[in-house]
Amino acid sequence: MRPARLMVPLALVALAAPVQAANRVSDPSATEMSLTTPDGFVVKGTLALPPAKGKVPVVILAHQFHADRAGWAPLAEKLHARGIGTLALDLRGHGASTQKAGAEVKVTDDFAASAKAVGFDQIPADLAQAATWVRKQHGVDGRRIGLAGASVGAFAAILAEPQVHPVAVLSLSPAGNVAFGDHAAADLKAAVLKGQASVLVLAAADDKGAFDNAQAIKGLPGVEVLASEGKAHGFDFFKDRTDTMAVFFGEYLTYHHTGQVRAAGKKAEGKPGDGKTVINEKTLAEKKAAEATK
C-alpha cells in the first residue's frame, strides 16, 4: 500500500546539502529498457539502480521539449549517491523514442504542431506504463516511486500522479498547457488533489506559462512552490538547485521510509503521513548536521 501523503510541505531553501563522500555509493548498474504504448510508440529509457542490500526507491524522469534522457545526468548522479535509482526516459518523439508502428515520428521546432503529431497528451499514460514496468523489476521498491519532470515533462508528471501513485513529485517549470487540452490548468489542480503526492515545484517569475501554473497549484495540500527571479526554465535549475532536488527525494523516499523522522523536536512514532510526520527547516537542518558528521 502506498504511504499516505505527507501533509507538511518542505522548506528547502538554503538547506540542501550534498551527500558527504563517505555516504557515496559506487556506480549504479544500468539496464536499457523499452515499452510499446497503446498507440504504437516504442518508448526507450535507462534504469539505473545503485548497489544495495535491499530494494531501492526509483524516480522516473521525464525531460523537457527538444531534450532527451541524458539531460537528467546532474540530478541522477546525486540521487544515485543517496541510494535512489532512476528510470530516465526518452519521451515519445525524442531521442531514441521516435518509432511509432514502424514509422519514424519526431518532434520539430514547433511545439504545438509536435504536441499534436506526437501525442504529448499521452505522456502521462506513458509514465504510468513505465511505473508499472519499473515496479516489476528486481531490486526496486515499488512502494517508493517518485516522478520528476521538466517543462512539458513536468506538467505530464503531475497529470500522471493519480495513475502512478508516487510518493513525491518534482516539477521543474510545468508548462505546455496547449499539449493537454482546453482544460489543462483545471486538470493540473485535479491531479494534485487526487494524486496525493508531495509535490515540489520550481518556477521563475519571468517564465510566464510555468510560473502561472505553479501559482495555480500553490497552496494545495502537499505542494511547495519555490519561486525565483529571472527566466530559468526546466533543466536551467540544475545550476543552483540540484542539491535541493536531491534532498527533496532523499527525505521523502529514504529518510521518511526508515522512520527516522522528527516532529516538534521528538522522534515521531508511526508511519509517514499519519499526522505525526513533520518536515520543516528544523528537521532538515538536523539531517544536514547528521550527514556532515559521517
What's the pLDDT at 33?
98
Long-range contacts of residues 103-108, Cβ cutoff 8 Å, at least 24 apart: 105/41, 107/65, 107/66
What's the pLDDT at 282?
45
Q: Is residue 161 part of a domain?
A: yes
Of the chain, the end-to-end C-alpha distance in Å amounts to 33
Indicate the DSSP class of residue 209. H
What's the pLDDT at 13?
40
Query: For the segment 190-233, what is each residue's pLDDT rounded down to a tens digit?
Result: 999 999 999 999 999 999 999 999 999 999 999 999 999 999 99
In single-letter form, the type of residue at position 6 comes to L
How many Å apart are CA 175 and CA 173, to the nearest integer? Answer: 6
Q: Is residue 135 part of a domain?
A: yes
What's the pLDDT at 293?
54
Total domains present in the chain? 1
What's the pLDDT at 85?
98
Residue 221: domain span: 21-292
Query: For the segment 179-195, what is each residue's pLDDT rounded down to a tens digit?
Result: 999 999 999 999 999 99
Q: Is residue 140 part of a domain?
A: yes
CATH number at residue 70: 3.40.50.1820
What's the pLDDT at 272?
33
Q: Is residue 6 part of a domain?
A: no
Read off the pTM: 0.83
What's the pLDDT at 25?
53
Q: Is residue 5 part of a domain?
A: no
What's the pLDDT at 27?
78
Q: Is residue 155 part of a domain?
A: yes
Q: Is residue 1 part of a domain?
A: no
How many Å apart are CA 262 and CA 279, to the nearest integer? Answer: 8
Q: Is residue 12 part of a domain?
A: no
Q: Which residues in the chain show pLDDT less than 50?
A: 1-4, 6-9, 11-24, 258-284
What's the pLDDT at 78?
97
What's the pLDDT at 4?
47
What's the pLDDT at 292?
56
Paired with 270 in beta bridges are none
Q: Let me know the angle formed at the C-alpha of 10 by 282 and 209, rounded to the nearest 5 degrees.
A: 150
